[in-house]
Amino acid sequence: MPLDDWLYALKATIPQLSHSALHRCFQRHGISRLPLTEEGQSLPKKTFKDYPIGYLHIDFAEMQTEEGKQYLFVAIDRTSKVAFAQLHPQAKRVLAAEFLWHLLDKLPYKVHTVLTDNGVQLTAQAHQFLPGGHSYDRICREYGVEHRLTKQRIPGPMAKWSV
């Protein structure tokens, strides 16, 4: 996704964000370029399988702002590249569910699939008993959306951002 698209998507929630600050943030965390092979060449870009519009990737990241630690919730449609972002002071289950509810309510098209990681804010953990299921799953059922989970792994370079 081009840097200008990220800036446009984040400007509404972080008005003081500049093009250069976002670029420096991406550079600092090593996400501004493709990984290199042993010969020094960039690896070819992997492409996603084609999906109809309405397949969303949702995640959140901790950010340091002038106000202190904030959590950026982001959703990106795999096909249309529409991005939806909100900044919250905490990363609680109820805020994650509200983010999903607002997102599904605002999009002008039907969402058929939501892809999230296995975080406690986004899915029930094996040790939890939640009557009626996790709030994310309840909202997905209400809107007729399939909730898929990514494979579990160690967080990558985007786990913490600072602007």
In a domain, 55, yes or no: yes
User: What is the CATH classification number for the domain harbouring 151?
Assistant: 3.30.420.10
- pLDDT, one tens digit per residue, over 103-161 is 888 888 899 988 887 776 666 665 656 566 667 778 888 889 888 887 766 555 445 54
Q: Which residue range forms the structural domain that includes residue 53? A: 44-162
Task: Return the number of other C-beta atoms located less than 10 Å from residue 99's C-beta.
Answer: 24
- CA 159 to chain CA centroid, Å, is 11
In a domain, 85, yes or no: yes
* Distance separating alpha carbons of residues 25 and 32, to the nearest angstrom: 9
- pLDDT, one tens digit per residue, over 102-116 is 888 888 889 998 888
pLDDT mean over 45-71: 82
Structure pTM? 0.58
- pLDDT, one tens digit per residue, over 78-109 is 888 888 888 888 888 788 888 888 888 888 88
When divided into structural domains, the chain yields a total of 1
